[in-house]
Chains A and B, each alone.
Chain A
Amino acid sequence: MSNATRSWAQPIVRALPIPAGAGMARMLVERNGRSVRTFWPTIVSGFFEPVFYLFSLGVGLGTVVGSVDAGGGTVVPYAVFVAPALLASSAMNGAVFDTTGNVFFKLKYARLYDSVLATPLGPRDVAVGEVTWALLRGSAYAAMFLLVMALAGTVTSWWAVLTLPAALLIGLAFAGVGMAATTYMRSWQDLDLVQLAVLPMFLFSATFYPLSTYPESIRWLIQITPLYQGVALARELALGMVSWTTVNHVAYLVVLGLIGILVAARRLDRTLLS
C-alpha cells in the first residue's frame, strides 16, 4: 500500500456517517477501498455497462419505438423514458452483485470475516461496512450515469438531481436484502436463484415499457416488486413528475432496506459467532 493511496483513502472512509452500534464498520470500508487497486479495471469498466445500454436502447431502439407515454399523459422520447429506469436497475444490479457474489466469496472462500472478527470489529460492523461499501460504489456509478444522461439530453427537470440520492436509496434497499439473502446461501449454485429474482425484475418492472402495457389485472403484481418502486421513483424525479406517490416509493424502499440490514446483522451474528 503506497502512502499516496493511503492519504486519499483514509479521510474519505473515516468521514463516513456510520450508524450507532457499528462503530468500526468504517474499517471494513477502508479495507475494501484499499483492495480496489488489485481489481480496478473491473471497477472502472462498470461505468460503461449502463452507458452502453442507454445508447443501445435510447438511441438505437429509440428511433424505432418513437415516443412513449410516461404516465399522466406526459409523452416523451423513448431515451428519456428508459434512461432513469436504467439508472435504477443498474443501482439494483450493482448492490445485489456486491452483497451476494462478492460477500459470499469473502464469507465462505476468502474467509475474510473470520479474520475481521479476530479484530475488535463485530458482525454488525461487517453488515454495515459491506452495505456502505456497496452504496459508495453504486453512488459513483450513478453519478457518472446521471452525467451521461444529462449530456445526452435525457434529463428534463431539475428534480433529476434527486435521482442520485434515489439511486443510493435503491442501492441501500437491495444491498440490505442481498446481504440477508447471502447469509442463507449454501453454495455458488444458490447465486442462480439470486439471478432468478433479479433478471425478471430487470426485464418486467416497467423498465423498458410503461406499466400501462400490462393488462389491468396483473399491474399490482408488477407494482409490489421493489425494482418497480425504484424505477418509478427515478422516473418521476427525472421527468419532474413528483407527487405523493413519490413519497410512497421512498417509504417502501427505506422499510425494505432496514428490514434487510436487520435480518443480515442478526443472521451474521449467528453464522459468524457460532
Chain B
Amino acid sequence: MSETRATPLGESAHVDTAVPTAHLSVLPQDPRPGALFGRAFAYWLTVYRRTWLGSAISSFLAPLLYLGALGFGLGTLVNRSGGGIGGVPYVEFVAPGLLAATAMQTAAGEASYPVMGAVKWQRQYHAMLAAPLGTVDLVLGHATFILVRITLACAAFTAVAAVLGAFAWPLAVVGALVAVLCGAAHAPTIMAFSARQDNDGNFNLLFRFGIIPMFLFAGTFFPVTQLPGWLQPIAWATPLWHGTTAVRQLTLGRPDWGEIAGHCAYLALWLGVGLLVAVRAYRSRLVS
C-alpha cells in the first residue's frame, strides 16, 4: 500500500505506509554512537548538489535585497534625522543584524520542514536507521549539513556586504564565523521540535511566534534599548540577540573580545544542549 503526498513547501513524496519500523531498533548498530554521521551527512549533501538552485533565492538573494532596501533606502532617512545609530551609518548597523538573522533563518528553514519530511513524508531517516546508522548519526549528520548551508549563506552575504563597504575588513571574516555559530545554535532545538511534529501546522506557529519576532525585535533593525522595558529581557534571552551583538562588534571593527566570548559561550550552550535534546527527540520518535 502506498500513497503520494506533498509538503506545502515542496517535494512530493512516495510513502510506503505498510513498512513496519518498530523492528529497526533491534538491528545491530555501530558500538560508538555518532561514528557513522558522515554517511548521513553525505546523503544530504548529495541531494543538495542537485537542488541548490532552488534555495538560491531565499538564502542568497533575499538577505541582499533586505540589505539594499533597508541599509541604503531606509538608511538615508535614519542618517538624515539622527546621524545613523550611535554615530554608525545605518547600513553598517543593519548589515551584521541581517547576517546573523540570515544564519538563523537558514537554520530554521533547514531544521523544520526537511526534518519532518525525513520522519514522515520521504522517510529518509527510516531508511538510514535500516542501515547501521543510529539516531546520533542521524542528528549529527543532518546538523552538519545544516551547518554547511548556514556557512554558504553567510559567506555569500559577507562577501557582498564587504564589497558594498558595509563591513570592516578583515574582522568581518570572524564576524561571519560567529554568525555561523549563531545559526548553528538555533538548528538542533528546532530539529528536536520538528522531529516531534505530526503535521506541518505547528511550523507556521514556530515561524510566526518564534523566528519572525526574533528577526523583528532582537536587535536586527534597531538597538534593543528602543523596546519597552519589559520586552528587553526577553530579547536578551534570545540566541539571535547574542549572535547579532557579537557579529556587529566585529563587522564594525570594534571588538570587545571578552563580551564576544561571553556571547559565543551562550550560543555554544544552545548548540550543545540542543544536540542532546535533538538526540532524545529522534530516539523517542524513530526508535522506541
Contact = CB atoms under 8 A, between A and B. Distances in A.
Interface string A107-132: 01110000000000000000000000
Contact of A209 (B57, B66, B73, B202): B73
B82 A45 contact: no
B226 A208 contact: no
A74 interface: no
A71 to B, nearest CB: 14
A145 B193 CA distance: 30
A213 B76 contact: yes
A221 interface: no
A204 B73 contact: yes
A271 interface: no
A105 B6 contact: yes
Contacts of B65: 199-200, 203-204
Contacts of A78: 77
B227 A213 contact: no
B73 A199 contact: no
Contacts of B66: 203
Nearest to A82: B74
Interface residues on A, range: 35 or more
B204 interface: yes
B interface bracket (residues with beta carbon within 8 Å of A): 35 or more
A75 B8 CA distance: 43
Interface string B224-249: 00110000000000000000000000
A52 B205 contact: no
A65 B208 contact: no
Contacts of A60: 216-217, 221-222, 226-227
Given A65-B77, A189-B54, A105 B85 contact: no
Interface of A: 39, 41-42, 45-46, 48-49, 52-53, 55-57, 59-61, 63-68, 78, 101, 105, 108-110, 188-189, 192, 195-196, 199-200, 203-204, 208-209, 213
Interface of B: 4-6, 8-12, 53-54, 57-58, 61-62, 65-66, 68-70, 73-74, 76-78, 81-82, 85, 201-202, 204-205, 208-209, 212-213, 216-217, 221-222, 226-227
Instruction: Across the A-B interface, give the 8 residue pairs with the lowest CB-CB distance, nearest first.
Output: A66-B81, A56-B216, A203-B69, A109-B6, A188-B10, A42-B204, A45-B208, A60-B222
